[in-house]
C-alpha cells in the first residue's frame, strides 16, 4: 500500500465520528440490536434491553440482503418507522443498512448511521451515493476483501465529501467451517497504522456462534478496537434470521459489564 | 444443495438464451472485446477485429467498477453510444455491464445482454431490477461465492420474471498469486448437473495473463462450457485497464481457429 | 518467481521421465487404480481392469495418510507385496506413496514411482530422502501450496541428485464446498511456461465426485497436461476409502476411449 | 465434530502440561527466542534477554523447514548443543522443532518440548513417533488445516501414549496479503469448548510484522489463550530468517510488562 495516496491514509489526527452524543473513535462504542426489524414489540423491547445493558447505538435491518430471494427481505419503510420509534423511546441513535442507490435519500432521513453491508462493500454506485449524504457511514469489510480494497472503498465515500466513515471488520471467508467466517483480528492493529478512521468489530457475524462472542469481544477490546457491533434479540429462538449468533439481553448485559472494566483497564494500562 | 427448490435447478430442458441470431446454450458462443470502451476508434476497430476472428458478440464496459475512486470509471452514456455504433457497423450484439439500479432501464435500451459483474453478484437490488427487464443477463460469479450462492443470485433474476440468464465463471479468489484469480473449471460440469442455464468461462479475468488464455480456453471447450468471454484490444499496451490480459486481434484469431475445430471435435466425439 | 534460480526452471528441453517402457512427458500417460490396496483380489482385479481400459501405470496406496488415527492406515509391506504381484500379472509399473524417511529405501525396492502425497509436499526430510534414490518421484501439490512453493519442493528432489520428478496437481483448498477441493487447471499452462518437468492432473481427489471426473479429465487433456491419475475400484461401494470418487472399470474404460481420441486430436490440431 | 470420539475431546479436566517447573495450562506461559539457532553468542544472549523479560521457556530452531533447499537449513546437532548450554545458563526449558522420524529419539534428549511445525502437522509418521516419547509436544496448526483436522493430529499423539500436547495457533493462509498469514483468534475459544488441551498463540508467524505483535498478544490474552510463542532476536536486522517479525529484547520486555498486568486483570475480572 506504499504508493497509494488516499485521504483515508493521510490525516494526522484520528477521526472521531459524531453520532448525536456518541463519539465513535473516542472511548468505546457498542452498537447492539437484532439482525432484522421483525415487528414493533421485538424491536422496542430489544432496544430497551440493549440500552440497559450499556449499548450506545441500536442496530436493526429494514432491508436484508439475503442469499435466497425466498428468504425474508426485511420490512422496508415500515421497519424504518419502527426504528424511529425505538429511538424516540430509548434515545439510542439508529444504525441501519441501505442496499439501493435509490433508497439512500429517504433512508438517510430515518438513520443516524448508514450501514453498507459486506456484500455491497464494492457496490461503488452505492458508496458514491452515501458519500453525498451528511450521515456517518458504517462500512463493513467484504468477506473476500483485502484491507487495501476496503480502504479504497472508504475512499469512495470520503472522496464524495463525507468524512465520517466507521470501518467494521466482520470476518473473512476461509476454509474453516467451525466458525461462520474467520474474524481477522489483525485488521485492527493493521488499520490503526494505516488509517485515521475508527475501527469496530462485529464478532456475531464473524463467528456465528453465541458461545464464542464474549471471548472475541474481549479480544477486540484488547487489540485496540474502537467498538463492537453485537446481535441481540429478546428471544433468539424465534429470530427470523441469524438465531445462532444472537445474544439474549441477559447474555449481553453480563458481557457488557466485563467489557466496560476491561476497556477501562486497557485504556489506563496498555 | 439437496433441499433447495429453485427454478434455476428445476427445468427439464436446457435453457437456450436468444440474443438476436445468437443462441447461447446451443453450439459455442464467444463474446470478445475490450475491458472498457475508451473511444470510438478503439471500440470499432476491436469490434471489427473480433468479428473477423469469429466472435458472436461484442463485450465492452461503459461503467467500470474500479477498486480505486481515482481510476478510470468508464465513459457512461457516451460509451453506450459508441457500443451502439459498433453494433451497427458489425452486426454483433452488445454485452455491457450495469452497476446501478437507476441505470438499468436506459442501459437496457443500448445493451443486448446486461452484464452483472463479480463485485455486484450479491447486489440483490440490482438483480431484482434486471429481473424486470426483457434483456438477457450475463451473471458473473462473485470471486468469493459458492456455486450455491451463485445459483441463488440467478434465482433472483428468474424470480423477477426474466428467464434468460447466462452464468459466467471468471475465477475465484484463493491464496495462489501466479494467476490473478483461480479458474474453477469444475464449476462447468457441476453447473451442468445442477442447472439448465448456459455456462460460459472468462479466462481473461480468471488468470490475468495472456500466455495462459489459450490453454484455459481449450480446457473450457473440453469441459463442456457453452462459450467464452475474452478480452481483446487492438493495442493492449495502450489499454486503460487490464492490459496484461488482453489478446491482440492476431492472437485472438489464431486461438479462435483452434477453438472452432476443437469444439466441433468435442461435439462429435465426446 | 523472477529471481529464483532453480534446476526445475532452467532446462531447455522438456524432461521425459522413463518408467519401464512408459515415457512420462512424451505422449499421454494415465495412472489408475484404487486409493488403497485392500487385499490381493481387489488389487489384481482392478489392475487387470485398468490395464484393459488403457492405463499405463497402476496406482495403489500401502501407507495411507489419514486425517484420523482410527481410520485404516494401509497394509504396509503386505500391500507392497500385493502391488508387486499385480505388476507381475499385468506388466504395469507401480506408483505408490511413501510417508516416512525410514521407509524410503525398502519401499523403493517395490515401487516403480515413489509418490509424495499432498500432506507431505513440504516434508523436506522426505523430499531429501527420495532425492537420493534412483526412482522417479510423483510430487503432489500441497492443498494450500503456491506453484512457487511446489517448484521449490521439486527442487529439493532435483538438488538431491534425482532428475525424475513428475508434478501432480490434485486440487487446492478453497471456500467452495460442492467439490472436495478446487482443481487449479491454470497450473498446467503455468507450469508449462515455468518448468521442464512433466505435469499430470488428479481429478479424482480434486473434485471428489465421480460425475465430474470425465469432464475434468477432458479439460486436463485440452489444457496440455501430460497425463492423469485416476482412482478406479472394482467395487467402489465397498472401497475402504474415497468411494465417492472411484470410477468403476466400465466408467474408466468408457472415459479412456474418449481421452485417447481427444489427446490424438489435441496433439495433431492445437 | 459431533460424532468424533477423540481423547482430545473427552476429558473433564483441563490438561496441564508440566515442563520442569512450568505448568502450561495453569497461568500464562510465554515461550520466546530466535527463529533459528545461529551461533552460541546470539542464542545465549537472546536466552538471557527473554528470561529477563519474563519468558518461561526458550524457543529456537536447530532444524529449519525452509521453502527453498538453498536457504539456511539449521545447525542440527550443533544447534541442539547450543540450546542445551542456553538452558544451563538460564534455567529456561527448551522448545525446539523435530522434522524427521529418525531424529526424534536423539532430539528428545536435548529438548524439553518437541515442536511439530505447521508444514508437518499432517506428517502422521512424525506424530506417531513423538507420541511414543515422554516429552511434551507443541503441535502447530497447519496453515491450511481446519480445527477438526488439527485435533485429529493431536489425537495421533495422544493415541500413541503421550498425553502432553500443547496446541499452537500460528495463522492460517487466506487471500489477505498485508499480514503474512491470518491469525485465527476464534480458534482459542473454539478449542476451549472442544478440548481439554492448552492453547497458545504465535502472533509472530501469524502476522509477520513487528508492529502488530503487541496488539495481537493482548488479544490472545483477552481471548483466553494459555500462552504465547514470540520470536525475539538480539539483533533482528542480522537475523538469518524472519527478521521482519522478530522483536528486540527491549520491545519484548515492554510488551511483557503489559501482558503480565493484563493477564492478572483478565484472570481476576473476566
Separation of alpha carbons C259 and C257, rounded Å: 6
Question: pLDDT of D217-226, one tens digit each?
Answer: 999 999 999 9
Neighbours of B258 (CB within 10 A): 17
Lowest mean pLDDT among A102-116, C65-79, C104-118: C65-79
Q: pLDDT tens track of chain A, all 270 residues? A: 655 678 888 877 999 999 999 999 999 999 999 999 999 999 999 999 999 999 999 999 999 989 999 898 999 999 999 999 999 999 999 999 999 999 999 999 999 999 999 999 999 999 999 999 999 999 999 999 999 999 999 999 999 999 999 999 999 999 999 999 999 999 999 999 999 999 999 999 999 999 999 999 999 999 999 999 999 999 999 888 888 999 999 999 999 999 999 999 999 998
Question: pLDDT of D181-192, one tens digit each?
Answer: 999 999 999 999
Give the nearest chain C residue to B180 (CA atoms).
C186
b/e map B45-80, b = 16+ CB within 10 Å:
bbbbbbbebebbbbbbbbbbbbbbbeeebbbeeebb
* Contact between C174 and B174 (Cβ < 8 Å): yes
DSSP of B190-246? HHHHH-SS-EEE-HHHHH--GGGHHHHHHHHHHHT-SEEEEEB-SSGGG-SS-GGGP
Half-sphere exposure of A106 (CA within 13 A, CB side): 10
Residue D186, beta-bridge partner list:
none
CATH hierarchy code of domain D24-269: 3.20.20.70
**Over residues D53-68, mean pLDDT:** 95
Residue B229, beta-bridge partner list:
B31
Does the pLDDT of residue C252 top 70, yes or no?
Answer: yes
Does the pLDDT of residue D3 top 60, yes or no?
Answer: no
Task: Give the residues of chain B that fall short of pLDDT 50.
Answer: none
User: What pLDDT does C263 receive?
Assistant: 98
Q: List Cβ<8 Å contacts ≥24 apart for A78-83.
A: A79/A36, A79/A37, A80/A107, A80/A110, A80/A111, A81/A110, A82/A37, A82/A39, A82/A40, A82/A43, A82/A44, A83/A37, A83/A43, A83/A58, A83/A110, A83/A111
Distances, alpha carbon D124 to alpha carbons A46, C154, C183, D195, in Å: 51, 21, 25, 20
Neighbours of C18 (CB within 10 A): 12
**Over residues D32-51, mean pLDDT:** 97
Give the gyration radius of chain D's Cα atoms: 17
CB contact under 8 A, A173 and C175: yes
Nearest CA to CA, how far is C49 from chain B (Å)?
A: 22
Does the pLDDT of residue C2 top 80, yes or no?
Answer: no
Torsion of CA C37, C40, C46, C50, to 10 degrees: 90
**Over residues D98-104, mean pLDDT:** 96
Give the nearest chain C residue to A174 (CA atoms).
C175
CB contact under 8 A, D69 and C101: no
Cell numbers 427445468 label which residue? B11
Cell numbers 523403493 label which residue? C108
CB contact under 8 A, A123 and B99: yes
Does the pLDDT of residue D2 top 60, yes or no?
Answer: no
Give the nearest chain A residue to B98 (CA atoms).
A125
In chain B, residues with a C-beta closer than 8 Å to the C-beta of A4 are 68
Say yes or no: domain B15-269 is CATH 3.20.20.70: yes
Nearest CA to CA, how far is D181 from chain A (Å)?
A: 10
User: What pLDDT does C3 receive?
Assistant: 57
Cα distance between the two ends of chain B: 28
Q: Which is it for strands C57-59 and C94-97: parallel, antiparallel or unpaired?
A: parallel
- How would you class D12 by CB atoms within 10 Å of its CB: exposed for 0-12, middle for 13-18, buried for 19 or more? exposed
Domain boundaries, chain B: 15-269
Residue A258 is nearest to which of D206, D258, D269, comparing CB atoms? D269
Question: What nine digits make up the cell of A22?
Answer: 456518541
Question: What nine digits make up the cell of B152?
Answer: 441463488
pLDDT bracket for residue D15 (50, 70, 90): very high
SS3 letters across chain D: CCCCCCHHHHCCCCCCEEECCEEECCCCEEEEECCECCCHHHHHHHHHHHHHHCCCEEECECCCCCCCCCCCCCCCHHHHHHHHHHHHHHCCCEEEECCCHHHHHHHHHHCCEEEECHHHCCCHHHHHHHHCCCCCEEEECCCCCCHHHHHHHHHHHHHCCCCCEEEEECCECCCCCCCCCECECCHHHHHHHHCCCCEEECHHHHHCCHHHHHHHHHHHHHHCCCEEEEEECCCHHHCCCCHHHCECHHHHHHHHHHHHHHHHHHHHHC
Superfamily of chain region C34-269? Aldolase class I (3.20.20.70)
Does the pLDDT of residue C4 top 80, yes or no?
Answer: no
pTM of the model: 0.96
Cell numbers 495403489 label which residue? C60
Separation of alpha carbons A162 and A158, rounded Å: 5
Return the biggest CA–CA distance within chain A: 51
Separation of alpha carbons C221 and C264, rounded Å: 10
Neighbours of C12 (CB within 10 A): 5
Cell numbers 463467528 label which residue? A207
Give the nearest chain B residue to A70 (CA atoms).
B156
User: What pLDDT does D11 receive?
Assistant: 77
Average pLDDT of chain A to the nearest whole number:
95
Question: pLDDT of C185-236, one tens digit each?
Answer: 999 999 999 999 999 999 999 999 999 999 999 999 999 999 999 999 999 9
Separation of alpha carbons C152 and D71, rounded Å: 11
CATH hierarchy code of domain A25-269: 3.20.20.70
Separation of alpha carbons A93 and A100, rounded Å: 22
Question: Which residues of C make CB contacts under 8 Å with B?
Answer: 1, 144, 146-148, 172, 174-179, 182-186, 188-190, 192-193, 206-207, 211-212, 214-216, 218-224, 258, 261-262, 265-266, 269-270
Chains in contact with chain C (at least 3 beta-carbon pairs closer than 8 A): A, B, D
Give the nearest chain D residue to C120 (CA atoms).
D123
User: What pLDDT does D4 receive?
Assistant: 66
User: What pLDDT does D163 receive?
Assistant: 96
Neighbours of D181 (CB within 10 A): 20
Separation of alpha carbons A229 and A247, rounded Å: 12
Residue B172 is nearest to which of C176, C223, C269, comparing CB atoms? C176
Host H or E run for residue C139: strand C137-140
Question: pLDDT of D222-247, one tens digit each?
Answer: 999 999 999 999 999 988 888 899 99
CB contact under 8 A, A101 and B99: no
Question: What nine digits make up the cell of B6?
Answer: 429453485
In chain B, residues with a C-beta closer than 8 Å to the C-beta of A152 are 67-69
Does the pLDDT of residue D134 top 70, yes or no?
Answer: yes
Separation of alpha carbons D61 and A244, rounded Å: 43
pLDDT bracket for residue C131 (50, 70, 90): very high
User: What pLDDT does B8 receive?
Assistant: 87
Question: What nine digits make up the cell of C211?
Answer: 460425475
Q: Which residue has the higher pLDDT, B201 or C2?
A: B201
CB contact under 8 A, D174 and A178: no
Does the pLDDT of residue C9 top 90, yes or no?
Answer: no
Residues 6+ apart with CB under 8 A from A230: A30, A31, A32, A55, A202, A203, A204, A213, A217, A247, A252, A255
Amino acid at each position: 500500500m506504499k504508493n497509494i495516496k488516499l485521504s483515508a491514509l493521510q490525516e494526522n489526527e484520528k477521526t472521531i465520528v459524531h453520532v448525536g452524543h456518541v463519539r465513535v473513535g473516542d472511548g468505546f462504542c457498542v452498537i447492539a440490536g437484532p439482525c432484522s426489524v421483525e415487528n414493533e414489540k421485538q424491536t422496542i423491547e430489544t432496544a430497551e434491553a440493549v440500552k440497559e445493558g450499556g449499548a450506545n447505538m441500536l442496530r436493526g435491518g429494514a432491508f436484508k440482503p439475503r442469499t435466497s430471494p425466498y428468504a425474508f427481505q426485511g420490512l422496508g419503510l415500515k421497519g424504518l418507522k419502527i426504528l424511529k420509534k425505538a429511538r424516540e423511546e430509548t434515545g439510542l441513535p439508529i444504525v441501519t443498512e441501505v442496499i439501493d442507490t435509490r433508497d439512500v435519500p429517504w433512508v438517510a432521513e430515518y438513520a443516524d448511521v448508514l450501514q453498507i453491508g459486506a456484500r455491497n462493500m464494492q457496490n461503488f454506485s452505492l458508496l458514491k451515493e452515501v458519500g453525498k449524504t451528511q450521515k456517518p457511514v458504517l462500512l463493513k469489510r467484504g468477506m473476500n476483501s483485502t484491507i487495501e480494497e476496503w480502504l479504497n472503498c472508504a475512499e469512495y465515500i470520503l472522496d464524495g465529501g463525507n468524512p465520517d466513515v466507521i470501518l467494521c471488520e466482520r470476518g473473512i471467508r476461509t476454509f474453516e467451517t467451525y466458525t461462520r467466517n474467520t474474524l481477522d483480528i489483525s485488521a485492527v492493529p493493521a488499520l490503526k497504522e494505516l488509517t485515521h478512521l475508527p475501527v469496530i468489530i462485529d464478532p456475531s457475524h464473524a463467528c456465528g456462534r453465541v458461545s464464542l462472542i464474549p471471548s472475541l469481544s474481549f479480544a477486540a477490546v484488547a487489540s485496540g478496537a474502537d467498538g463492537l457491533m453485537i446481535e441481540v434479540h429478546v428471544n433468539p429462538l424465534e429470530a427470523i434470521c441469524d438465531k445462532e449468533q444472537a445474544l439474549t439481553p441477559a447474555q449481553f448485559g453480563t458481557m457488557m459489564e466485563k467489557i466496560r472494566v476491561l476497556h477501562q483497564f486497557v485504556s489506563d494500562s496498555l
